[in-house]
Amino acid sequence: MERMVQAKTKFTLKESQIFLRIMTTYESNEDAIVYDDNVITVTKRELCSLLPCTLIEVGVISAWASYLNNMEGYMALSSSRRLFFTTYTSLYTIVDRPYGVDLMTLFDRFCDNLQTEVEQIPYFKWDDVDLVFFPICAVEHYYTICFRFSTKSIVVIDNSKNADDEDVLIKYGGIPGNARLFFCHFLTKMGYHNQSKSIKYASIVRLKMPWRTTFGTCGSWWRRAC
């Protein structure tokens, strides 16, 4: 199983076949379940958000994250494990925080969300994990915040060129910083102090990638990049 995916602007043959299948049947049976892995379910209507000029549904992004977690079970035992959370862990905690809710309540909600998802992963152990990905959907734009314990680093992965690489606050506001704060709180609460210490004071940088674009395909690029 390869870990590196080469992002291209053209579909592979398999991707073209899937695309054609969606294009020719998307108006029928919209509520039919087309993906179910016991963690995330996706309807045909959600899957059809992959069509051109359509905002990709968060359910599709979350299903991809869940699928990637399942695929980690097939990696070599010597390979450091990656963990992919769904978009739901950050919703109404880090993103779109509800007005008037105190910080400790948000912390507890976030911790419950994370714990619920990791409990669905067979044989999961935090000590095996090196890379943790949080997909973020904010203001109809998708990007990823990635934590790496071994290098004590935090990076924002975003397909958009339209931002300042040197200052994440300009484009993302307080979301990356709050993600670090909330995640460290979770790790400390669960007793993983070394992991928490490794990222607690890490700088948050925006990853520079040659395939960044200026057009709105952020959801599709997120799926290919992770």
Chain centroid to CA 37: how far? 17
Structure tokens at 33: 């379940």
Mean pLDDT value across the chain: 84
User: Which residue ranges make up each domain of the chain?
Assistant: 57-225
| Arithmetic mean of pLDDT, 151-169 | 80
Q: From CA 152, how far away is CA 195, in angstroms rounded?
A: 9
pLDDT of residue 199: 97
Q: Which CATH number is 57-225 given?
A: 3.40.395.10
pLDDT in tens, 165-202: 567 888 899 999 999 999 999 999 999 999 999 999 99
pLDDT in tens, 69-88: 988 878 777 777 899 999 99
pLDDT of residue 219: 43
pLDDT in tens, 4-30: 455 566 778 887 887 777 667 667 778
Confidence of residue 210 (pLDDT cuts 50, 70, 90): low
Predicted TM-score (pTM) of this structure:
0.80
Chain centroid to CA 224: how far? 12
Q: From CA 121, how far away is CA 39, in angstroms rounded?
A: 9
pLDDT in tens, 132-146: 999 998 887 889 999
pLDDT of residue 148: 97
